[in-house]
Structure 1
Amino acid sequence: MLFGLSFIVFLVLFLLPGDVTSAMFSRPESISTSQKEQILINLGLDKGFFTQYFLWLKSIFTFDFGHSFINGQSVGSIIVERLPNSLILLGLSYFFIMFLSLILGIISAVYKNSFVDYFINFSTFTLMCMPHFWFGLMLIIIFSVNLGLLPSSGANFLGQNGFSLKHTILPLCAIVLPHIGINIKFIRDLFVENINKEFIQASIARGLNKFDIYKLTILYISPSIVRYFGTLAGSIFGGLYVIEAVFSYPGVGELSLNSIIAKDYPVVLATLLVSGIIVVLANLIAEILSILIDKRNYEK
């Protein structure tokens, strides 16, 4: 799957108009055609599409991501420098999306068809309809430009001067809030559907108190919830790419988008591969956890 996706991305980059020399020089028209051709030869871009792709594929199997066409820096070192920032934002986003979705989804289910239920659904649906980049820009205008409460950019790499978690607050909100709407609805509907199961209704008939009924229902649906949140990794990472660019947050997402514009093949493909591995691992971990939770609940 990852290599199929890399093939498609490589093909799209190959077919894009222009070449890497446009990004390498501030005035690309100042260099001659022969100089451009020599640069392309040095970078191996004079070869055909399949030759370029399979050479890249061969280097990946030796853990050699190559060097950036733009600055000559090792792609591996660029990724290592930026990946921690993205993982911090991704981890926090995952935590708050899961936490808020679970809490609000269960509250919405418990107070089904009440004002609380309608208010939660209306609020989250409104947020869900807002594109990530537009919502991010609104947060910048309100909290950074007008109120001056939070920085809109200026974050540095983890471990360096200038890095602060306050730089993650606005990007975090821009990722989390538009994401939770559909998740709250999923949790709510799952809870309402399963609280009507025969064994739970039998527990109610035996006089089990409401708290224990809700606890039993949550335990019963927990494998489905864990599995569902595992599938969100790709969606969250997609939002991460856009939001990092909006807030000039120095992570893998911003790096990838800038590299696409510059047609910096090695960097684009490396960021794609790393992102894909993280998404696959998230799904795998969620699947394993759901099986373990399901087994534990069955034993109980």
Structure 2
Amino acid sequence: MTDHILKRLLLTVPLVLVISFITFLLTRLSQEDPAVVILHAQEVPVITDKLLAETREKYGLNDPLFVQYWHWLVDALHFNFGHSFVTGTAVSETVGPALFNTLKLTMVASTVIIVMSLLLGVVSALLRDTWVDHVIRTSAFITTAIPSYWLGTLMIIYVSVKLNLVPTSGMSGMTSYILPVCAIAFGYIGIYFRNVRSAMIEQLDQDYVLYARAMGIPSMTIVFQMLRNALQVVVSIFCMAIPIILSGSVVVENIFAWPGMGQVSVKAVLEQDFPVIQAYVLIISVLFVILNMVADIINAYLNPRLREGL
């Protein structure tokens, strides 16, 4: 198992390097001079040649591209993404607290999604083709089709404003998690529940389930074994769900004024604040890679035969 983990780590390193280089090139994709982009972001009224030269020297834009990338990568490894073009403050001071708030919201929403998907998927599979199965599947289809921004707006109007049950926005306590978590979770539960249901139905059709029932093994023991085998299929989906939810919470965070990466990233895009955008893209991308690696490791633990394929 240790060898498998080391191999996965070694394969992850070059992928992260490629992602980091592409992220660094974000500021070079524009046809404009990067120094001009910086000065525009800082709302400088008149851009002179002298000012351009000073900006290039200040931000190291006169260095070769790979030298600039190396310096940026070394700083990024220390969670130092430079300074904002707009405010001049360190990007880590802005991104750090916002990322922590987004992670808290993401982990709560992911927990709800995983628990409800497993519960509904198992129940729907065990009671397939019954009225319970049809109700769950129909409800999941409807919730998947509802846009999160529309659902979030409705919940603010009816639950927060008219009923005054929970706060409308901000992060003021445990109750402030309820609406954004529901807005995020509703659609994803409908998606991931179907994966759990399909995996469980596939297990139900296996011979070992028939033999176990014939031997009189308790139903709950059989269900837990089926779920363990089914998890080999859905664990990757759940691991990848976390960064997807993390990156997809931008709209919900802006609707509920959640002080997270959603608000920070949208503001950075509107202001062309590239250091903040680079930090956001790199963090989300690296999380995708890391959690994909974690999913492979968990799958290898659940199914030892997978270790032989690497």
Of 227, 233, 236, which residue of structure 2 is paired with 1:227? Answer: 236
Counterpart position of 1:32:
46
Counterpart position of 1:137:
153
**In 1, are the aligned partners of 2:148 and 2:252 still within 8 Å (CA)?**
yes
2:249 partner SS: helix
Distance 1:5 1:136 in 2: 34
Q: What TM-score does the superposition give when structure 2 sets the normalisation length?
A: 0.80
Counterpart position of 2:246:
237
**In 1, are the aligned partners of 2:41 and 2:85 still within 8 Å (CA)?**
no
Greater shift, 195-204 or 257-266, is seen at 195-204
Counterpart position of 2:199:
190
**In 2, are the aligned partners of 1:140 and 1:152 still within 8 Å (CA)?**
yes
Greater shift, 167-176 or 273-282, is seen at 273-282
**In 2, are the aligned partners of 1:10 and 1:53 still within 8 Å (CA)?**
no
Deviations 1:210-267 (A, max 9, x none): 2222122112222222222112233212321221122221112221121011100101
Counterpart position of 2:72:
59
Displacement, 1:68?
Answer: 0.5
Quickly say closer, same or farther: Cα 1:57–1:124, change in 2 above 3 A. Answer: farther
Quickly say closer, same or farther: Cα 1:124–1:45, change in 2 above 3 A. Answer: farther
Distance 2:187 2:58 in 1: 41
Greater shift, 250-259 or 6-15, is seen at 6-15
Quickly say closer, same or farther: Cα 1:39–1:239, change in 2 above 3 A. Answer: same
Distance 1:175 1:267 in 2: 24
1:278 aligns with 2:287: yes
Displacement, 1:138?
Answer: 2.1
Counterpart position of 2:117:
101
Greater shift, 211-220 or 70-79, is seen at 211-220
2:303 partner SS: helix
Q: What TM-score does the superposition give when structure 1 sets the normalisation length?
A: 0.82
Displacement, 1:273?
Answer: 1.2
Quickly say closer, same or farther: Cα 1:5–1:237, change in 2 above 3 A. Answer: farther
1:110 aligns with 2:126: yes
**In 1, are the aligned partners of 2:109 and 2:184 still within 8 Å (CA)?**
yes
Q: Mind listing any 5+ residue stretches in structure 2 that lack a counterpart?
A: 1-17, 306-310
Give matches, 1:161-240, under 5 Å: 163-240=172-249
Quickly say closer, same or farther: Cα 1:272–1:113, change in 2 above 3 A. Answer: same
- Percent identity of the aligned residues? 26
2:94 partner SS: helix
Deviations 1:163-191 (A, max 9, x none): 42322221111111111111111111110
Distance 2:144 2:174 in 1: 25
**In 1, are the aligned partners of 2:117 and 2:193 still within 8 Å (CA)?**
yes
Distance 2:155 2:31 in 1: 36
Distance 1:145 1:268 in 2: 34
Of 135, 144, 151, which residue of structure 2 is paired with 1:119? Answer: 135
The aligned amino acid for 1:211 is: M
Greater shift, 145-154 or 116-125, is seen at 145-154
Equivalent residue pairs, number: 283
The aligned amino acid for 1:120 is: I
The aligned amino acid for 1:88 is: K
Displacement, 1:40?
Answer: 8.7
**In 1, are the aligned partners of 2:196 and 2:230 still within 8 Å (CA)?**
no
Distance 1:49 1:145 in 2: 55
Counterpart position of 1:75:
91
Q: Mind listing any 5+ residue stretches in structure 1 that lack a counterpart?
A: 156-162
Displacement, 1:198?
Answer: 1.4
2:81 partner SS: coil
Distance 2:149 2:66 in 1: 32
